[in-house]
Amino acid sequence: MAGPPTGPVVEVTSHTSTGPPVTDRSHRPTGGVPAIIRRRLAPFDARLDGWSWLATAVVVVIAGILRLVGLSNPKGKIFDELYYATDAHNLLLRGVEWDEKNNGAAYVVHPPLGKWMIAIGERIWGYNELGWRFSAAIIGTLSVLLLIRIARRMFHSTVLGCAAGLLMALDGFHLVLSRTALLDIFLMFFVLAAFGALVVDRDVRRARWLRAVEGGMDPSRSGRRHRPPFRLSDGVPWWRLLAAVMLGCAFGVKWSALYFIPAFALLVVLWEVGARKSVGVRRPWRDTFLDEIGWLLVAGVLIFVTYLATWSGWFLSDNGYFRNWRADTGQSSMPIIGSLQNLFHYHVEALKFHAQLDDKHVYQSWPWQWLLLGRPVAFHWSDQGACGAPSCASEILLLGTPILWWSFLPALAALGWLGIARRDWRALAILLPVAVGLLPWFWFALDGRTMFFFYVAPVVPFMILAVTYVLGAITGPARAPTPVGVGGGGGDPPTEPADADGSAARASDRRMIGAIVAGTYVLLVAICFAYFHPIFVGQLLPYADWSTRMWLGNRWI
């Protein structure tokens, strides 16, 4: 029997379009770059390919049909459409929100961008149900597209990417928000878009480091601050700046986007430090701070400027609430500075309102109830109409698809465990947005602040990513890894081919079982969604059929 081949044994990662990264062993040279460094730095090959985009298109079309068909029903303004659809209409007419009853500027406590987006639909289709719900439906569909491509890039798998998108498409919570003129679907979209831009930025930056190493740069040989042949800090991080714009837009929809800004900045820093460690930079933390602090400050300014831009209608009008506050109170008002001071006063007053918001509401809920579906919100209810039964019911209930939502907590726990065990960057990338999107509300709950289930909206895509991560762990790698000992290493003789075949067969069986489990889970989510679909879209049902869907009794009524 031949002895083991000579040369070092290094692990490389094979990225496929049908499963998570596959680890195997190779003795082939890798262009002078140690394979361990190549594995850490090489980004996922996200080039356009027909199969990937065809599968993506199928899921997005499903999501679009579910969100657009019957969008004009029910008639009239439901739940908070009474405020936001009206505000959007007045933005089109006057550039600011307007109190029609008192014929004066309206005092509102949310920034205007979400209402401007609702106004786009009203501009296209008119001031009617289709008009004020259209933008939410389109943004909801686009968020499914975003999640597919983000998950595909993170998990190196078209199948897992489409699974994530399908789970979001079949989530009742996401569906209801996509068919209603509220602000939260826009907040979710911009936060997710910012995250996706940072994931791409991570790949782009690591690819540049890899090219620098391939070009002969060896940062471990110098104690000085590393400067590669082309300075990484000289290149404009366009994706990172795009993420800043998206965060500014999210902040321009609701102030709760603020929590994601430091979290995403932390991800950028950790990813940059990790890239430098991978290539052997001796002082990765120092170099990251010196090279990236400037761009982070630029990103912060861009967030602020983008946010101010969302108030353009207020700036360009003389009728906005507090627009002339300094002049009205006898204070001097300089042309630009005075306007900013007026807007600052507006924000101070709005912040006071939010801090004192403790009015009781029949559909208020607490953060610890949200992932358990402890108190959904009824957007619409009617018992009028003919359904072939003595009594009927039509409801739009903001309720997550139960099987999907009740798997979020186990998935987050499993993600934390697997992330630590595997030292996987994706675990922190998913868990951190979940934490910053949820934990602040627990703090506010201590003061008895009034809050609602839909406040959890920005976190939903990340919880679906957690579920998708676990599904990927269950299904296993796309190919069976080469058994330990094949090809040798450390003096071990190569394994007999029969043993290799047996190991490959066991890995294949495991993958098949995992695929069946994951497929069954997605199928159960789809069946559960179909069962609850009538109360997501306001379909008229016999009262008995509606009642059977109230699984948690009065908590869902």
pLDDT tens digits, 507-527 = 777 888 888 999 999 999 999
- Residue 305's φ and ψ, nearest 5 degrees, are -65, -40
Q: Kindly write down the DSSP assignment for every residue of 69-97, as one continuous string.
A: TTTT-S-S--TTHHHHHHHHHHHHHHSS-
Per-residue pLDDT tens digits for 123-139: 999 999 999 999 999 99
What confidence tens digit (pLDDT) does each residue in 192-246 have?
999 999 999 999 888 888 887 777 666 665 544 544 444 444 578 899 999 999 9
pLDDT grade for 181, boundaries at 50, 70 and 90: very high
Which tops the pLDDT comparison, 460 or 4?
Answer: 460
Type and span of the H or E element at 152: helix 129-155
Cβ contacts of 280 within 8 Å, gap of 6 or more: 218, 219, 220
Q: What's this model's pTM, rounded to 2 decimal places?
A: 0.87
Among 170-179, 214-223, 352-361, where is mean pLDDT lowest?
A: 214-223
pLDDT digits (tens, 9 = 90+) for 69-81: 999 999 999 999 9
With beta carbons less than 8 A apart as the criterion, state whether 153 and 199 touch.
Answer: yes
Closest by Cα among 186, 68, 62 to 125: 68
Q: Are 110 and 104 in contact (CB under 8 A)?
A: no
pLDDT at residue 544 greater than cutoff 50: yes
The answer to whether the CB of 363 falls within 8 A of the CB of 377 is yes
* Spatial distance between the Cα atoms of 174 and 136, rounded to a whole number of angstroms: 10
Query: How many residues are there in the chain?
Result: 557
Three-state DSSP class for residue 392? strand
| Mean pLDDT, residues 501-509 taken together | 70
- For residue 496, pLDDT beyond 80: no
312: confidence class by pLDDT, cuts 50, 70, 90: very high
Per the model's pLDDT, the better-predicted residue between 29 and 406 turns out to be: 406
Tell me the mean pLDDT in the region 473-492: 46
Under the banding of pLDDT at 50, 70 and 90, the label for residue 495 is very low
Report residue 58 as tokens.
């199928």
β-strand partners of 380: 396
Confidence of residue 250 (pLDDT cuts 50, 70, 90): very high
Q: Which residue has the higher pLDDT, 434 or 447?
A: 434
Give pLDDT, residue 480: 36
Confidence label for 16 from pLDDT (cuts 50, 70 and 90): very low
Distance CA 192, CA 322 (A): 32
- Torsion angles phi and psi, residue 110, rounded to 5: -115, 140
Q: What is residue 355's predicted lDDT score, i.e. its pLDDT?
A: 81
Helix (H, G, I), strand (E, B) or coil at 422: helix
- 265-271 average pLDDT score: 95
CA distances from 35 to 38, 226, 246, 483 (A): 5, 22, 36, 19
Would you state the pLDDT for residue 14?
33
- What confidence tier does 39 reach under pLDDT thresholds 50, 70, 90? low
18: helix, coil or strand?
Answer: strand
Q: Are the CB atoms for 180 and 379 separated by under 8 Å? A: yes
What integer is the mean pLDDT of 98-114? 91
Mean pLDDT of the chain: 85
pLDDT at position 13, please? 34
Question: Tell me: the pLDDT tens digits for 440-458?
Answer: 999 998 888 889 999 999 9
Cα-to-chain-centroid distance, residue 373: 20
**Contact (Cβ atoms closer than 8 angstroms) between residue 124 and residue 137:** no
Q: Which of 61-65, 71-75, 493-497 has the lowest mean pLDDT?
A: 493-497
pLDDT above 70 for 315: yes
pLDDT at 147: 98
**CA 399 to CA 536: how far, in whole Å?**
8
Give 47's pLDDT tier (boundaries 50, 70, 90).
Answer: low
pLDDT digits (tens, 9 = 90+) for 135-170: 999 999 999 999 999 999 999 899 999 999 999 999
